[in-house]
Structure 1
Amino acid sequence: MTPAEAVAELLQTPVAGVVAVAADVFEVDLADGDLVVAKRHHRLGQAAAEVGGLAWLAEAAVPAPGVRAADETWVVMDQVEPGHPSVDAAVGLGRDLARLHAAGADAFGDGPTADAWIGQAPMANVPGRDWPGWYAEHRLLPYLRAAVDAGSLRDPGPVEAVCERIGELAGPPEAPARLHGDLWSGNVLWAADGRAWLIDPAAHGGHRETDLAMLALFGCPHLDTVIAAYEEVSPLAPGWRARVPLHQLFPLLVHTVLFGAGYARQTVSAARAALSG
């Protein structure tokens, strides 16, 4: 089914035009003058996970696109007019993330759907009460095994050592936070309305430092401003900067699984940095 056909069927509205804006993402002009975004998923459960994740974010009153309609393949969302990063938007993003995290979750691994996705990698939302053990068992080790089995990572020792010492590396205990879960800078949409909107979540209950560490992983405009605004609302625990590599291990392992050995060296370096504190 083409994007035009899918949107017309789901919204029961004629389509006037379609423009591809990214892989499997399309801006769709409706005949009534409205504009929506249609996203095509290729794996069973991905569409439901995105719909549930966006709703979970919206429950915390953070900017996230509203879903108009969805089926097993397509998600049709409100269009957000793109803009440019600004200091004011960065302040708003920091405050929004603090509010999102404070909305909480019933447990680490709790989420809007049990079967979730981070990019094109499956991610199981398995509830747990102890963050260090849960993070090692359900976030680090599954992707470490997959990377090793694929031959993408040949030195698992440092990551295994992190998992063995996770209790002492994790910092002070915290309650489960409501996470975006895949908060690299590409999933922050700096919009024309002056706000930073969150898209493509891998939503689950986790440690709030994970979202912030992922935001730093590939660079984010005005990141220092984002963090400062976050801490005005919800101060981070002492030593959080030293724990950034620990929280970056999860997305780095996912990238090693999805994109190959090019990320292996960065993964091992992050593990060693986490061990050294």
Structure 2
Amino acid sequence: MTPAGRDVFRKARAGAPEGFFAREAAGLDWLCVDGGPRVARVSDVGPGHLDLERLAPAAPTPAAARAFGRALAVLHDVGADAFGAGPTAAWGWSGTPDGWFGPLDDPLPMAGGAWATWPEFYADARLRPLLDQGRDRGVFTDDDARRVDAVRALLPRLAGAAADDEPARLHGDLWSGNVMWVRPAHPGDEPPAHPGDEPPADAVEAALIDPAAHGGHRETDLAMLDLFGAPHLAEIRAGYQEVHPLAPGWQHRVRLHQLYPLAMHAVLFGGSYVSATRSLLTELTA
């Protein structure tokens, strides 16, 4: 992001894929639900830019993390039309389900559509395209392909008690860097009518940015928070469980949900992410 004015940040890239910023803006709108987490508000979108409200960073606290967990569960519970569904049309986005995943300078296509179950969705819309992208870039080998296919075949069993979950409304790229800890906004962003209406000086809340929003499995967002170490993660989980207890055995499925984002890092950045992905494939097929 780059500054674009006193109250606005501009995210910009010349030559961005057609619809890239409109899709992100539509995703932010889609994630903004009553009782859900704060979401960075969009003020303008163009072919090469996205303008967002400027957020005031603050240090995360355990109480803010627990509140975020509760709000995240509310967001997930709003649901989606199907596994693979995209955000509704907004900001010039057509409402088609496909999107992108990855950094601003190298986003990779992310398939959308409508799958009846999460195992089918994960196999066909995430792991199979990921394997093709990795082979195109010379990252994955024939042996890697065999192991990915083995995981795809095992998905109904690996999904366990959560295999029949309903589609959740996901952020879709919820690593810790896409959760900003910020000072709370005034209601409606208006100045307070009275000094006593100001939030406490130590008040903090989480705000979502940079989504790859889609209909998916609720455990996926939580696994992404775990992958790169969100602050006060135990409090986030505790707050989440207060609103929506996870299906039994969720602890054993965290690594399964981390396979796609970890392998995407291997495709995008290579290096140690490749060996980490291979270790995880071995773990899941053991």
Q: Which amino acid aligns with 1:101?
A: H
Equivalent pair of 2:171/2:214 in contact (CA under 8 Å): yes
Counterpart position of 1:189: 180
Q: How does 1:242-261 map to 2 (within 5 A)?
A: 242-261=252-271
Q: Distance in 2 between matches of 1:137 and 1:88?
A: 39
Counterpart position of 2:101: 118
Counterpart position of 1:39: 11
Counterpart position of 1:143: 130
Q: Which amino acid aligns with 2:267?
A: V
Q: How does 1:67-146 map to 2 (within 5 A)?
A: 67-112=42-87, 113=95, 114-119=97-102, 120-146=107-133
Question: Which structure has the higher relative contact order (CA within 8 Å, separation 6+)?
Answer: 2
Query: How far apart are 1:135 and its partner, in Å?
Result: 0.7
Equivalent pair of 2:37/2:206 in contact (CA under 8 Å): no
Counterpart position of 1:206: 216
Q: Distance in 2 between matches of 1:253 and 1:82?
A: 30
Query: How far apart are 1:129 and its partner, in Å?
Result: 0.8
Query: How far apart are 1:275 and its partner, in Å?
Result: 3.1
Quick check: 59-68 or 171-180, which moved more?
Answer: 59-68
SS of 1:181's equivalent in the other structure is: coil
Match of 2:230 among 217, 220, 229: 220
Q: How does 1:151-190 map to 2 (within 5 A)?
A: 151-154=138-141, 155-156=143-144, 157-172=146-161, 173-190=164-181
Counterpart position of 1:19: none
TM-score (norm 2): 0.83
- How large is the Cα RMSD of the aligned pairs? 1.4
SS of 1:165's equivalent in the other structure is: helix
Counterpart position of 1:50: 24
Any stretches of 5+ residues in structure 1 without a counterpart? 1-24
Counterpart position of 2:187: none
Query: How far apart are 1:27 and its partner, in Å?
Result: 2.1
Equivalent pair of 1:111/1:125 in contact (CA under 8 Å): yes
Identity fraction in percent:
47
Query: How far apart are 1:261 and its partner, in Å?
Result: 4.2
Any stretches of 5+ residues in structure 2 without a counterpart? 88-94, 185-203
Query: How far apart are 1:274 and its partner, in Å?
Result: 2.6
Q: Distance in 2 between matches of 1:88 and 1:59?
A: 21
Q: Deviations over 1:234-260 (max 9, x none)?
A: 101111111111100110121111112
Counterpart position of 1:8: none
Q: Aligned pair count?
A: 248
